[in-house]
């Protein structure tokens, strides 16, 4: 089988400099790959001039719908992907992380796109910044898709998840992607990508695939492009230092292999839930994907008093791991990705053994496979009795089923030993003592992108040390690459340009599609609550009549709710309050009274009020004060598949002196179609 690249609208097979790819278990050749003959300048141009404009014509919600449809399509085909994934050395459990995890990330970003982004093409970030005394000159930040291409360079260990977790936020942002899978396992990435193209769900140019070398692609990168890289720190450094990347200030997102750790708390003695969870996690991270995970535990720190017990427990658990052909049901750990990877791992183990003693590397029976033909490495456990003088333990990573146990004497020592890794993706802490957890977490946080803290309360439901999640940041400082992937909308922001706008409220409203206080208000004979979502316009406003707030109102509200706080009910006590100087109305009474002033009661397009945002009480209201309310359509977002949309109403309550006493956003669901009888 010859792998093909998908570039400039078609499939391309290189005819020279062909590299053979082998099954990690049997050593048999399963594919050949070459990118010779590809015009990489044209590939970038195709993404920028064809894919980019097509994606930018879609709204965030339309892109999210494509991600959801694509995830459903791939989920229907996943057994095909599982079958080929065995060739990478992955067991079915390993492939679940890679394949289902990748598809799940598409689903997650599809959901976030609808819930957290507007059904528009501009994302408004943060609040309006007042820039003048009168309010006639204001500022705000908007985010729009960049005009370039996103180049995704992925690692060999997760050919599906690594591709999809980058594609999801990129496509949601509206930016085209050029995917470069790691060559060793590119046959699986190519199969999944081929099914993506065949689905016809994405516009042409939105995605391209390069199997093999990227040639001179980096030479043609420009200031609107983004490079997202996962792999070794040395390769990341070369890419980041490329003259085109530096000279054009190309946005670079790096996620590199790091020395990740886990710490057993001083309180977690043998027999505790935390001790048992620690042992399970170390063993799982050593053997899942044969230890070929950028998040795998490389250093396991234990209190010096528990060194013997922890070492024996981990060694015993490793002895039960069945190694062999990942196609066999009983096998729990397969081979590394290839013989070259095995040579690399064995060389790194030799370096580590200069500072640590071998505890367990017994070559177990290899079930259903040949030890020499396959890229097998036994689970290897070491102990470093002098981590204070060690160097390699904190700088050398054996990217396989390898972990070193380090004893520590104090929390400060544990923090020091972990942070000597100079930046990691993740570390985990196992303790039932929250004070100890706090000390460790705050000491480790500056050097980590993620920290997992496990105790008996969450151990059963913990997603684990090595599981990056779409809603949380995946990345880390220093050696870990300095980048952040996923993390909810944080991952999308890499592919958007944040721009500060300055101008009049009316102008910024027109540009952003979000009403700014001071912009025009549209007041007509028809109440906005009588209008369907398409009929509503940004700026539609209701200004109410006045209502006097009385002492009877306050006392009846207190009786109804049970809120008899002194500021509302005790005149003498309220006078002593320097903020009030006497009895005042309940803030929530004001919200309720305001609703009574602005609502249009009969059945109509407004289906529900689902919340309030940004509520602030600015000034107390006393008996005898008169309040009125302004309600303005601030933003609207259609959920096409639901038949309704969300409308945000900017709301201000003012008193008889036109002073703002409360401000907030009212959130409603409004029908997109006329409602019968409404």
Q: Pull the structure tokens for residue 492.
A: 């999308």
Alpha helix ranges (H) inside 353-433: 392-395, 411-419
Distance CA 325, CA 309 (A): 32
SS (H, E, C) 49-66: HHHHHHHHCCCHHHHHHH
Per the listing, tokens 């391209």 go with 208
Q: Pull the structure tokens for residue 83.
A: 């079958």
Q: Do domains 40-255+490-497 and 260-469 have the same CATH topology?
A: no
Distance CA 580, CA 566 (A): 11
pLDDT given at position 362: 65
Sheet of strand 10-12, all strands in order from the earlier edge strand to the far edge: 10-12, 5-7, 207-209, 177-180, 150-153, 226-231, 251-256
Q: Among 616, 629, 494, which residue's Cα sits nearest to residue 127? A: 616
Torsion sign over Cα 409, 410, 414, 417: negative
pLDDT band at 604 (very low <50, low <70, confident <90, very high): confident
Distance CA 49, CA 537 (A): 33
CATH of 521-671, one of 3.10.129.10, 3.30.360.10, 3.40.50.300, 3.90.420.10: 3.10.129.10
pLDDT given at position 345: 93
Arithmetic mean of pLDDT, 484-496:
93
Arithmetic mean of pLDDT, 320-331:
92
Distance CA 190, CA 131 (A): 52
What is the number of alpha carbons within 13 Å of residue 560 lying toward its C-beta? 10
> Using one digit for the tens of pLDDT, what is the confidence trace for 614-672?
999 999 999 999 999 999 999 998 887 778 889 999 999 999 999 999 999 999 999 98
Distance CA 354, CA 392 (A): 8
Q: What are phi and psi of 627, to 5 degrees?
A: -115, 155
pLDDT band at 38 (very low <50, low <70, confident <90, very high): very high
> Using one digit for the tens of pLDDT, what is the confidence trace for 329-381?
999 999 999 999 999 999 999 999 999 999 887 666 888 888 888 899 999 99
Residue 283 pLDDT > 80:
yes
Give the mean pLDDT of the chain.
93
Distance CA 107, CA 101 (A): 10
Arithmetic mean of pLDDT, 575-596:
93
CA angle 149, 154, 160 (to 5 degrees): 105
> Residues with Cβ < 8 Å from 98, sequence gap 6 or more?
85, 90, 158, 159, 160, 161, 289
494, 228 Cβ separation under 8 angstroms: yes
pLDDT given at position 582: 92
Distance CA 606, CA 528 (A): 9
Q: Pull the structure tokens for residue 374.
A: 């396959």
Distance CA 102, CA 160 (A): 6
Q: Pull the structure tokens for residue 442.
A: 């705050």
Arithmetic mean of pLDDT, 480-486:
91
> Using one digit for the tens of pLDDT, what is the confidence trace for 145-195?
999 999 999 998 999 999 999 999 999 999 999 999 999 999 999 999 999
In order of 146, 296, 333, 473, the CA distances from 467 in angstroms are 30, 9, 18, 11
Burial of 357 (0-12, 13-18, 19+ CB in 10 A): exposed
In the chain, what percentage of residues exceed pLDDT 90? Answer: 82
DSSP state of 291: G
What is the number of alpha carbons within 13 Å of residue 520 lying toward its C-beta? 8
One of 165, 190, 255, 646 is an active-site residue; which one?
Answer: 255
Residue 402 pLDDT > 80:
yes
One of 294, 355, 403, 633 is an active-site residue; which one?
Answer: 294
pLDDT given at position 444: 97
Helix (H) or strand (E) holding 342: helix 339-352
631, 541 Cβ separation under 8 angstroms: yes
Structural domain spans, the chain = 40-255+490-497, 260-469, 521-671
If phi > 0 it is left, if psi is from -120 to 50 it is alpha, else beta; for residue 135 that is left
**Residue 633 a catalytic site member:** no
Distance CA 638, CA 646 (A): 7
Identify the CATH class of 40-255+490-497: alpha beta
Helix (H) or strand (E) holding 658: none
3-class DSSP assignment, residue 165 = helix
Residue 255 pLDDT > 80:
yes
Q: Pull the structure tokens for residue 320.
A: 């039960």
**Residue 255 a catalytic site member:** yes
Domain 260-469: give its CATH code. Answer: 3.40.309.10
Residue 107 pLDDT > 70:
yes
pLDDT given at position 363: 65
Distance CA 638, CA 645 (A): 4
Arithmetic mean of pLDDT, 6-18:
89
pLDDT given at position 669: 93
143, 499 Cβ separation under 8 angstroms: yes
Q: Among 650, 649, 653, which residue's Cα sits nearest to residue 619? A: 653
């Amino acid at each position: 089988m010859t792998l093909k690249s998908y570039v400039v609208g078609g499939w391309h097979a290189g005819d020279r400099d062909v590299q053979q790819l082998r099954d990690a278990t049997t050593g048999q050749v399963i594919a050949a790959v070459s990118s010779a003959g590809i015009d990489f300048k044209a590939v970038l141009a195709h993404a920028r001039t064809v894919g980019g404009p097509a994606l930018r014509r879609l709204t965030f919600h339309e892109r999210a719908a494509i991600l959801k449809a694509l995830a459903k399509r791939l989920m229907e085909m996943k057994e095909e992907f599982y079958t080929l994934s065995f060739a990478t050395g992955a067991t079915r459990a390993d492939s679940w992380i890679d394949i289902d995890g990748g598809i799940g990330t598409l689903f997650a970003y599809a959901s976030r796109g609808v819930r957290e982004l507007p059904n528009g093409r501009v994302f408004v970030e943060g609040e309006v910044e007042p820039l003048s005394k009168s309010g006639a000159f204001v500022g705000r930040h908007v985010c729009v898709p960049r005009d370039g291409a996103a180049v995704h360079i992925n690692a060999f260990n997760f050919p599906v998840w690594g591709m999809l977790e980058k594609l999801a936020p990129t496509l949601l942002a509206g930016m085209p992607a050029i995917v470069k899978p790691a060559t060793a396992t590119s046959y699986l990435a190519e199969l999944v990508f081929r099914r993506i193209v065949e689905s016809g769900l994405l516009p042409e140019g939105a995605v391209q695939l390069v199997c093999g070398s990227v040639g001179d692609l980096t030479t043609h990168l420009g200031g609107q492009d983004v490079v997202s890289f996962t792999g070794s720190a040395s390769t990341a450094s070369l890419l980041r230092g490329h003259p085109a990347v530096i000279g054009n200030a190309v946005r670079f997102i790096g996620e590199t292999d790091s020395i990740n750790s886990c710490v057993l708390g001083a309180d977690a003695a043998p027999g505790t839930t935390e001790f048992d969870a620690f042992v399970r996690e170390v063993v799982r991270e050593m053997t899942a994907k044969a230890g070929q995970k950028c998040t795998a535990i490389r250093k396991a720190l234990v209190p010096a008093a528990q060194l013997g017990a922890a070492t024996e427990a981990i060694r015993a658990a490793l002895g039960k791991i069945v190694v062999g052909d990942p196609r066999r049901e009983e096998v729990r750990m397969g081979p590394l990705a290839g013989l070259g990877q095995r040579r690399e791992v064995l060389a790194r183990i030799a370096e580590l053994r200069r500072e640590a003693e071998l505890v367990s590397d017994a070559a177990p029976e290899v079930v259903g496979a040949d030890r020499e033909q396959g890229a097998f490495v036994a689970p290897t456990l070491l102990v470093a009795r002098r981590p204070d003088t060690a160097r390699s333990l904190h700088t050398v990573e054996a990217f396989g089923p390898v972990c070193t146990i380090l004893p520590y004497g104090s929390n400060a020592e544990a923090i020091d030993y972990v942070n000597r890794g100079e930046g990691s993706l993740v570390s985990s802490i196992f303790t039932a003592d929250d004070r100890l957890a706090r000390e460790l977490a705050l000491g480790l946080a500056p050097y980590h992108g993620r920290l997992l803290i496990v105790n008996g309360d969450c151990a059963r439901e913990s997603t684990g040390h090595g599981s990056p999640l779409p809603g949380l940041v995946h990345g880390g400082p220093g050696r870990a690459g300095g980048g952040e992937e996923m993390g909810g909308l944080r991952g999308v922001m890499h592919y958007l340009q944040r721009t500060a706008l300055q101008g009049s409220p009316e102008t910024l409203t027109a540009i952003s599609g979000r009403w700014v206080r001071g912009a025009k208000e549209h007041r007509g004979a028809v109440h906005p609550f009588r209008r369907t979502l398409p009929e509503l316009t940004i700026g539609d406003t209701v200004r109410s009549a006045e209502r006097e707030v009385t002492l009877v109102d306050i006392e009846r509200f207190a009786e109804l709710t049970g809120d008899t706080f002194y500021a509302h009910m005790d005149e003498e006590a309220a006078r002593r309050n320097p903020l009030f100087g006497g009895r005042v109305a309940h803030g929530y009474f004001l919200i309720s009274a305001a609703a009574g002033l602005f609502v249009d009661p009969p059945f109509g397009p407004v289906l529900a009020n689902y919340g309030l945002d940004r509520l602030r009480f600015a000034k107390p209201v006393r008996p005898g004060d008169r309040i009125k309310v302004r309600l303005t359509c601030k933003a609207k977002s259609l959920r096409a598949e639901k038949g309704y949309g969300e409308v945000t109403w900017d709301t201000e309550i003012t008193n008889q002196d036109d002073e703002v006493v409360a401000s907030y956003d009212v959130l409603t669901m409004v029908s997109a179609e006329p409602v019968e009888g409404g």
